[in-house]
């Protein structure tokens, strides 16, 4: 599956590295291909190929958004046509003292969907720290015991898009738990 990342810092580089290790062609939708985060991601995994943002996005079936929440609008508006694309929103609207940055009135994921109304936004990869994306192993998990597999809460309004993201979660070592429509993201909370 062709996958690209908008934002390739702590979260993006960990997920991109593991998805590439699973055999997916993974690109970096790089606003600056010589940035420190692009370079660090490539040092981690040389198979991550930086491309101009609109080219990377147009080629991708799945786009991971892993930017600071405040950068979401600028990043998405410069990404070109996202119609019909699965967009995995990994961002958290973090407010002061780790409060909900939107005063718990609206999820960050819904604001992303408002910016790109024709894309299929799925919220995922927001309830753990990036260290867990680098290594999703859970010591209590025994192979084959699905009940003890680490859970990944996801939400979205499009069933097929959620199925795609669930499959990627499985490949990355998580059991995806579908919490319902995108509005459920507010209750993670994110």
The C-alpha atoms of residue 74 and residue 77 are separated, in whole angstroms, by 5
CB of 167 to ligand NAP, least distance (A): 20
Distances (CA, A) of 79 to 12, 54, 83: 16, 5, 11
Please, which residue, 6 or 121, has the CB nearer to ligand NAP?
A: 6
62 in Cβ contact with 1 (< 8 Å): yes
CB 116 within 8 A of CB 145: no
Rg over CA atoms, the chain: 16
Which of 91/136 has CB closer to ligand NAP? 91
130 contributes a contact to ligand NAP by CB under 6 A? yes
Among the listed ranges 29-37, 138-146, 167-175, 177-185, the one in contact with ligand NAP (CB under 6 A) is 29-37
Instruction: Give 136's contacts (C-beta < 8 A, 6+ positions apart).
Output: 150, 172, 173, 174
Q: Does 152 bind ligand NAP (CB under 6 A)?
A: no
Q: Which residue stretch of 8-16, 134-142, 148-156, 164-172 sits at the interface with ligand NAP (rule: CB under 6 A)?
A: 8-16
Of the residues 74, 159, 160, 177, which one makes contact with ligand NAP according to CB under 6 A: 74
45 counts as binding ligand NAP under rule CB under 6 A: no
Asked if 10 touches ligand NAP (CB under 6 A), the answer is: yes
Q: Residues 54, 129, 121, 95: what is their CA dihedral angle, to the nearest 10 degrees?
A: -100
Contact set with ligand NAP (CB under 6 A): 6-12, 31-32, 35-37, 66-69, 71, 74-75, 90-92, 94, 126, 129-130
């Amino acid at each position: 599956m062709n996958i690209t990342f908008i934002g390739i810092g702590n979260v993006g580089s960990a997920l991109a590295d593991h998805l590439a290790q699973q055999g997916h062609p993974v690109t970096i939708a790089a606003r600056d291909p010589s940035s420190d985060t692009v370079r660090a991601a490539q040092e981690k995994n040389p198979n991550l190929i930086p491309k101009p943002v609109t080219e990377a996005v147009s080629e991708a079936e799945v786009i991971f958004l892993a930017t600071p929440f405040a950068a979401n609008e600028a990043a998405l508006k410069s990404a070109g046509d996202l119609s019909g694309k699965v967009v995995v929103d990994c961002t958290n609207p973090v407010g002061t003292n780790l409060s909900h940055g939107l005063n718990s009135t609206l999820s960050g994921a819904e604001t992303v969907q408002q910016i790109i109304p024709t894309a299929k936004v799925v919220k995922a990869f927001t309830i753990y720290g990036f260290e867990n994306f680098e290594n999703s192993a859970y010591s209590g998990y025994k192979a084959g015991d699905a009940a003890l597999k680490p859970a990944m809460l996801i939400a979205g309004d499009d069933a097929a898009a959620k199925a795609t993201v669930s499959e990627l979660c499985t490949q990355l070592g998580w059991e995806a738990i579908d919490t319902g429509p995108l509005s459920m993201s507010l209750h993670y909370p994110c």
